[in-house]
Amino acid sequence: MTEKKKKPRLKRKKENKIDRMVRGKRRLESKRISQ
């Protein structure tokens, strides 16, 4: 959490978008594995 606060906003926005995409992919993968 502290690392994210140190970063400038533009970088954070880009990383948040990437984070969401990665999390979404992980969720889809976990759903496939669980089913």
Q: How does pLDDT run across 1-35, given as a tens digit for each residue?
A: 566 677 677 778 888 888 889 988 888 888 887 77
pLDDT score at 3: 65
pLDDT score at 7: 66
Tokens 């496939």 locate to 32
pLDDT score at 26: 87
pLDDT score at 4: 63
The pTM (predicted TM-score) of the whole model is: 0.43
CA distance 11 to 14: 5
Q: Spell out a b/e string for 11-31, using b for 16 or more CB atoms within 10 Å of the CB, else e.
A: eeeeeeeeeeeeeeeeeeeee
Q: Are 4 and 12 in contact (CB under 8 A)?
A: yes
Tokens 């969401």 locate to 20
